[in-house]
Structure 1
Amino acid sequence: MKLYKKIKESSILFSVLVMATTLVSCDKDYLDVGVYGTPEVASFYKTPTDAEQGLTAAYSPMREMYGRENFLASTSCSLLFGDIGTDDLLKGGARSNDGPQLFDKETYSLTTSNTAVEAIWKVNYKGILYANLVLNKVPDIVFTDANRKKEILAEAHFLRAYYYYYMVYTFGGVPLIDKVLEQGEYDTPRATKEATYAFIENDLKAAILDLPSRFTKPTTFLGHADKGAALGLMMRVSLYQNKMDQVKTYGEQLFLMPYVLADFSTIFRQEGEWNSGSIFEINMSSNANFLGTHMPNMMTPRSKGGIGFGQIQPSLRNEFEPNDPRFAASFYNVAGGYGTEWYNKKYSWAPYSNYSKPTTGGNGNSANNIRVIRLSDAYLMYAEAIYKNDPGTAVIYVNKVRKRARGTQPITVVPDLPALLSGDALRDAIYHERRVELAGEGLRFQDLIRTGRAKTILGPLGFIENKNEIMPIPISQVQLSKNILTQNNY
């Protein structure tokens, strides 16, 4: 793990810490903090203020994966790279070879030198390092507020789990690092996929135990991981392992909290940030260079000043039932240009949403928060977990989502599922609901992998079973490890 060594040896810049503080602020304004000098790790992590700044740094790679400052990372994120090559997203762009790292994903011709794959590895291990610094250093800091110290450590556990979750579904088992490595410890072999998931679950259990609920905190807390975020991520981690009993258990804990489904038409608008059905978001700000998200620029048509990636496939558009209001809230059409000419409205700027086109930091510095986990996703995960043993309750939870989708329209629009629906018909209805409710949110590829449908649905697109479920380990990392890291089937 020479990459881990390189990051450790670099200083933690105060400018990075202050830049990231906007991500955990409700109004996204700067904190009035003087910034001088370049502290080293050895002289840092001495005070509660250091602990807060170190924690903020640990959030920064989460934002970087969708952010303005790292173009390769933002093309590698789940919203684009994750679902390109599925029946949901076409790569798009200006031509077939625009964005070669994405073209490789779309055509299932990934190589070990793909730059998007390497960005995923680097950015997430940077996040793991920063989380480990908090977990290793903060216990020795004296706090007057012991409860806040527990919360900081719990947030760091959540962050480390989040980064490893991103790694395990991308690469399978990866090196597990739970401390700041010293000389001679850098070349760490891969753990198994099962061990990696167990590590993630242990971190999330620690986070769930000590995290507060955002509903008990002031609005300035928004952007921090809370108990609901940890429960929601544990549901998803359990779902990806087909541990349906765990999905049920953690879902029932989550549903005790006062989340409520919000009007779908507002969820991805400015007023929808941290709405009543939002479980976790990544805060973005466009009031300074590199603090915003690159996603709207990536997904906006080239004729409208964007890049035109991640266009909506006909198969996804055809999945929607007639008059489903979510269709118009999810997609928009701009004629003239390469690809399908249909785009993701969930991450857009004016006139397709009420997020303003950026005026600071370039087109890729938008203020749109990244919606990571939503209540409707949790409801559908829960329904999938219980549909075999408790189909009646599963139908109730799917119908919660459908009723909210219908809104004030007649009951014939997105009608309720029949109360007695069960078996494969209910399972398929849940799959359908996930696809239309979560369209363009980066979950389709993993849903097809975990449910065993990838070969049938993605095979005609080039998907190869027992290979393309995960990505190649970057060749640069294999070489840095002196071949201690074993390669996937590439």
Structure 2
Amino acid sequence: MKRYFKYIAVVCLTLLGASSCNRDLLTPIPQTSVSDASAFSTATRVQTQLLSLYGALKDGNFYGGRYVIYGDIRGEEFINETSNLVTGSDVWGLNATNSATAVVNLWYFAYLAINKCNIFLDGMAAGGSNVVGTDASAKYIAEAKFIRALSYYSLLQYYARPYADGNGSKPGVPLRLNGIKGVGQSDLVRSSVADVYAQVLKDLNEAEAGLPSTYATAADNTTRAHKNTAIALKTRVYLSMQNYPSVITEANKIVSTTAPFKAPTGVANQLQADIATVFTNYTTTESILSMPMTSTSGDFPGTQNQLAYYFSPNTANGGVGNGEYSLNAKGIIAEPTWTATDKRRSFIKQSGSGANLKNWLIKYKAPSPYTDYVPVMRYSEVLLNLAEAKVRSTNTVDAQAVALLNAVRNRSDAATTFTAANFATPTDLINAILLERRIEFLGEGLRNNDLVRLLQTIPAKGTVPAKTASEPNYIWPISASELALNKLATDN
């Protein structure tokens, strides 16, 4: 980890619709020099540094792969096939240690992204804002704050007790808000969960104010943060805090009151008619934020970080991956209300027969070097966030919540339409919404978040017993590297 206190690589992130990078900007710049005038001396250099923040976010060890993968394999939907610690068998087994690859690397790469954001913000304050002008400066600063907020929120989901456990009073993570450009700046106590969430929301509120309403291209609208991106993330954050009135307030900004649901301002975010489109055309208006990948060297997730590598079977079994994780036959695919004609069933592929029959997730289909865009947030999540919040806030079988649930289900299963009469109690409707989330976001990394925000037991799977919220390893231990460098850090 010490190397991230020494160096930051400033590289160009290839984004569709973004300006091409000059050759001299491809050279990594030492972290100690990032805030120098040379790094912020021209508008092109400032933009390059801004885009490098997305590069840190989309690293294969963070949102480019592993963060999403871990969110699924901690839950009950997948079975480990390889017993490989490098690809998360201990994460799946709910027994990862302080020095586990997942625990150390995710912490490292999340804080790497955070530190790059901090250094960028420091550089803008020191003169970068004057170089690019008021309007561009406000937008760039807002993007950096959005990325920092997403990174801190992501850390909380693995390394801190859920907000519901003590109303945010438990230890969170060290809240670093200034750029680290040398050694000797590591010691910092863990802020409370509530304090970290407060900073996340502060960043997101400021980001919403400064971000553009829309970009000129569909590619930028799905790979760079805009106002609706910040609002959508706030619905996720408030849902994790069980602050349901605030989920409603935020979601109402980008969800119309009646079907067909669509964002009334900014990017016209809405569901696509066919769920399969979202995973073949990566820049539709349903994709609020995705991590773009190309076949250019360094612009794809990298070895053993890729979603298709983990979830798709190998070529012998008709896939493009390594068959690391098959689908649990007793998990969501066994749900009888998930009908055979539901289009989302097309993301499931079988191999073998009899005792060797296995089911695989083929939502991600691009072969090596695995250039599927990685979904971070989709509009269907905002709809289901709002639906759940409406029911929990009113403690009724809310009519709009039923309509929102129908919007997601009917898109893939036109034969199923829910009515209020289908739900005897508000709890029944909440359970249906939670079930829909398991189907809709299978393989998209949200399962861990949904379990822990509600302090639910992580169900048993294969040889792994259930894990209650009070048991060790319900959350991860703190990275061994952090504990070694930060004398004020405490473990979970």
Q: What is the TM-score when the length of structure 2 is the normalising length?
A: 0.84
- Distance in 2 (alpha carbons) for counterparts of 1:151 and 1:88: 39
Q: Is the contact made by 2:201 and 2:234 (CA closer than 8 Å) also made in structure 1?
A: yes
3-state SS of 2:23 partner: coil
- Distance in 2 (alpha carbons) for counterparts of 1:341 and 1:289: 33
3-state SS of 2:363 partner: helix
Equivalent position of 1:99 in the other structure: 85
Equivalent position of 1:398 in the other structure: 405
Among 300, 304, 312, the residue aligned to 1:300: 312
Equivalent position of 1:423 in the other structure: 426
Q: How far did 1:169 drift? A: 1.0
Q: How far did 1:89 drift? A: 1.5
- Distance in 2 (alpha carbons) for counterparts of 1:170 and 1:284: 25
Among 134, 154, 158, the residue aligned to 1:166: 154
The superposition leaves residues 451-485 of structure 1 with CA deviations (integer Å, 9 ceiling, x where unpaired) of 23225667972414323331111112201223x21
Equivalent runs, 1:105-124 vs 2, <5 Å: 105-124=91-110
- Distance in 1 (alpha carbons) for counterparts of 2:137 and 2:420: 49
Q: Structure 1 residues 232 and 305, CA, compared in 2 at 3 Å: closer, same or farther?
A: closer
- Distance in 2 (alpha carbons) for counterparts of 1:75 and 1:266: 20
Q: Structure 1 residues 431 and 177, CA, compared in 2 at 3 Å: closer, same or farther?
A: same
Equivalent position of 2:469 in the other structure: 465
Q: Is the contact made by 1:321 and 1:414 (CA closer than 8 Å) also made in structure 2?
A: no
Q: Is the contact made by 1:317 and 1:327 (CA closer than 8 Å) also made in structure 2?
A: no
The superposition leaves residues 413-454 of structure 1 with CA deviations (integer Å, 9 ceiling, x where unpaired) of 222233674411111111111111112211112212222322
Equivalent runs, 1:22-37 vs 2, <5 Å: 22=14, 24-26=15-17, 31=20, 33-35=22-24
Which residue identity is paired with 2:6?
E
- Identity over aligned pairs, percent: 23
Matched, 1:284 2:293: yes
Among 380, 385, 390, the residue aligned to 2:389: 385
Give 5+ residue unaligned stretches, structure 2.
161-171, 256-263
Q: How far did 1:101 drift? A: 5.7
The superposition leaves residues 53-77 of structure 1 with CA deviations (integer Å, 9 ceiling, x where unpaired) of 111111112211368xxxxx97732
Among 117, 124, 147, the residue aligned to 1:138: 124
- Distance in 1 (alpha carbons) for counterparts of 2:55 and 2:273: 30
Which residue identity is paired with 1:275?
T
Equivalent position of 1:58 in the other structure: 53
Q: Structure 1 residues 455 and 12, CA, compared in 2 at 3 Å: closer, same or farther?
A: closer
- Distance in 1 (alpha carbons) for counterparts of 2:88 and 2:473: 14
Equivalent runs, 1:36-435 vs 2, <5 Å: 39=29, 40-41=33-34, 42=36, 43-65=38-60, 76-78=66-68, 80-93=69-82, 97-99=83-85, 102-139=88-125, 140-141=127-128, 142-143=130-131, 145-172=133-160, 173-181=172-180, 184-214=184-214, 217-219=216-218, 221-222=220-221, 223-255=223-255, 256-257=264-265, 258-271=268-281, 273-286=282-295, 288-293=296-301, 294-302=306-314, 303=316, 304=319, 306-314=321-329, 315-319=331-335, 320-335=337-352, 341-349=358-366, 357=367, 363=368, 365-388=369-392, 389=394, 391-406=398-413, 409=414, 413-418=415-420, 421=423, 422-435=425-438
Which residue identity is paired with 1:103?
S
Q: Structure 1 residues 208 and 475, CA, compared in 2 at 3 Å: closer, same or farther?
A: same
Q: Structure 1 residues 337 and 219, CA, compared in 2 at 3 Å: closer, same or farther?
A: farther
- Distance in 2 (alpha carbons) for counterparts of 1:184 and 1:246: 40
The superposition leaves residues 304-336 of structure 1 with CA deviations (integer Å, 9 ceiling, x where unpaired) of 452212321122101252234233332112227
Give 5+ residue unaligned stretches, structure 1.
68-72, 350-356, 358-362
Q: How far did 1:183 drift? A: 5.8
3-state SS of 2:88 partner: helix
Equivalent position of 1:70 in the other structure: none
3-state SS of 2:349 partner: strand
The superposition leaves residues 1-49 of structure 1 with CA deviations (integer Å, 9 ceiling, x where unpaired) of xx4x642432534xxx22x2x1x324x8x82522265543223122322
Equivalent position of 1:353 in the other structure: none
Among 6, 10, 16, the residue aligned to 2:7: 10
3-state SS of 1:118 partner: helix
Q: How far did 1:107 drift? A: 2.0
Q: Structure 1 residues 191 and 250, CA, compared in 2 at 3 Å: closer, same or farther?
A: same
Q: Is the contact made by 1:85 and 1:461 (CA closer than 8 Å) also made in structure 2?
A: no
Q: How far did 1:266 drift? A: 2.6
- Distance in 1 (alpha carbons) for counterparts of 2:486 and 2:450: 32
Q: How far did 1:372 drift? A: 1.0
Equivalent position of 1:352 in the other structure: none
The superposition leaves residues 133-188 of structure 1 with CA deviations (integer Å, 9 ceiling, x where unpaired) of 12111132224542111100000000000111111111111111111136643211
The superposition leaves residues 287-310 of structure 1 with CA deviations (integer Å, 9 ceiling, x where unpaired) of x22312322223221334522123
